[in-house]
Amino acid sequence: MFSKKQRIEREKIGKITKNPDFLFDNNFLTIKKSKNNLGYNRYSIVVPKKTEKSAVKRHFLKRKVINWVIGHTINNSYDLIFYIKNKDIIKNKEEFDSLIKKCIID
């Protein structure tokens, strides 16, 4: 899990969603990135009910993505929001890794 200082507050998610500095979108995932000037990254993982009805399964997807994100060194001072659109993302770890390297790591 992310520490409390690494999580984005709910109020800030709306601002980042409306005006991201970087946007990546495909069938599995949407990534929105914005500069934060704090010296460290903050993260948010969103799994809507449309993707998975069960709260247990949504939380499982969230934990999987958190573990994958923690495994990458991402340059500092960004707010990153991951919207999981498809539950099949957990079957494609290699594709997720390539997306992270291509889209987020500068």
What six digits make up the tokens of 79? 């707010």
Residue ranges of domains in the chain: 4-103
pLDDT in tens, 54-91: 999 999 988 888 888 877 767 778 888 889 888 887 77
CA-derived radius of gyration, the chain: 13
- Angle (CA) 8-27-30 rounded to 5° is 20
Q: How confident is the model at residue 13 (pLDDT cuts 50, 70, 90)?
A: confident
The phi, psi pair for 64, rounded to 5°, reads -60, -50
Instruction: Check residues 45 and 97 and name the one with the higher pLDDT.
Output: 45
Strand partners of residue 7: 43
The CATH class that applies to domain 4-103 reads alpha beta
Label the pairing between strands 78-84 and 42-46: parallel
Strands (E), the chain: 22-25, 29-35, 42-46, 78-84
